[in-house]
A and B are shown apart, each in its own frame.
Chain A
Amino acid sequence: MQFDGRSSKIMIAESDRTILEMLQIRLDVAGYHPIGVRNGAAALELLQHTRPDAMIVELNLPDVDGYEVLKAMSAYSNRVPPPALIMGRGLSMDAIKRAISLGARDCLAKPFSGADALDRVSRLLKMKPQAVKTVLV
């Protein structure tokens, strides 16, 4: 049987309430278990007691940014973090490279649609966990 990642726990860290709610509904209807947080501090707190199967992280989160969330996830997971998708507006190549070095596996530039996000999550869950080789401090 092909593993399609349904029923997987997915953390979404997104500051915009509309985008967060839209993503939560779309993922929930598709059979996933989304857990939404609106800032980096809440994401870090959640990661202390929850291990999501995948993460969707806005890079420009208020307070603690998306890089810090990726870094923390790598640390908590002993450098084999769950696959992460980063989101952001006008993502520069440097920003993408930095996020990848911290464990991100894919990126989604805003604006995107709910359908785009679902496609990417489905793809993300098919990826095998991969050790983070370089963690920038």
Chain B
Amino acid sequence: MTATARDKPLEASLAGALDVIAWEIELAGARCIQLDTLIGAMLNTLSPENQAQALEGLHTVDLLSQHLTGISAFARELGEGVSPELEARVDEALSKVSLGALADRLTTALGGVERGLNDGADCGDLDLF
């Protein structure tokens, strides 16, 4: 039986893997900024008591966004300094990712085959069950 591209173990450099991680963290940071904007837009519709709570939430999301931006820059910089010959065991690491859409994005970004997990209704990044 011939092994398909999907069955082939995925090989990636450590530098490439760190770069992919940096982008994912950057995306999470961008989603925080989006959430921050949404909360900000809702502020005027809330009662004064709820506004205080929402402001606290806004502050937390802002901190989270800055936190993620910092880690992303750190991972990106680490990747830039790593020898291109060093390899990462990405297959095993990918098997631990339980979110379909995230696993698919990571796989394709690392050079693997897309499984279309972004297309279904149950593929979201929120693992609710």
Tell me the A residues contacting B by CB distance below 8 Å.
16-19, 21-22, 25-26, 28-29, 111, 113-115
Tell me how far the C-beta of A100 lies from the nearest C-beta in chain B, rounded to whole angstroms: 26
- Please list the 6 inter-chain residue pairs (A to B) with the smallest Cβ-Cβ separation, ordered nearest first: A25-B30, A22-B27, A18-B23, A22-B30, A111-B76, A29-B37
Nearest neighbor of A25 in chain B, beta-carbon distance: B30
Contacts of B118 in A (CB 8 A): 17
Contacts of A25 in B (CB 8 A): 27, 30-31, 33-34
Interface size for B (C-beta < 8 A) is 23
Option from A26, A28, A111, A114 in Cβ contact (under 8 Å) with B19 = A111
Nearest neighbor of B38 in chain A, beta-carbon distance: A29
Q: Mark B77-90, 1 if CB is under 8 A from A, else 0.
A: 00110000000000
Q: Would you mind naming 16 contact pairs between A and B with Cβ atoms under 8 Å apart? A: A17-B105, A17-B109, A17-B118, A18-B24, A18-B26, A18-B27, A18-B105, A18-B109, A22-B30, A25-B30, A29-B33, A111-B19, A111-B22, A113-B69, A113-B76, A114-B29
Tell me the B residues contacting A by CB distance below 8 Å.
19-20, 22-24, 26-27, 29-31, 33-34, 37, 69, 72-73, 76, 79-80, 105, 108-109, 118
Other than the known A16-B23, A17-B108, A17-B109, what 10 A-B pairs have Cβ atoms closer than 8 Å? A18-B20, A18-B109, A22-B23, A22-B30, A25-B34, A28-B34, A29-B30, A111-B80, A114-B30, A115-B69
Name the prevailing secondary structure of the A interface residues. Answer: helix
Nearest neighbor of B24 in chain A, beta-carbon distance: A18
Option from B20, B22, B24, B33 in Cβ contact (under 8 Å) with A26 = B33
Tell me how far the C-beta of A44 lies from the nearest C-beta in chain B, rounded to whole angstroms: 21
Asked whether, in the complex, the Cβ of A22 is within 8 Å of the Cβ of B34, the reply is no
Considering the chains assembled together, what is the distance between the CA atoms of A113 and B23 in angstroms?
8
Asked whether, in the complex, the Cβ of A26 is within 8 Å of the Cβ of B108, the reply is no
Considering the chains assembled together, what is the distance between the CA atoms of A113 and B72 in angstroms?
9
Considering the chains assembled together, what is the distance between the CA atoms of A21 and B108 in angstroms?
14
Considering the chains assembled together, what is the distance between the CA atoms of A111 and B65 in angstroms?
19
Considering the chains assembled together, what is the distance between the CA atoms of A26 and B31 in angstroms?
8
Asked whether, in the complex, the Cβ of A21 is within 8 Å of the Cβ of B80, the reply is no
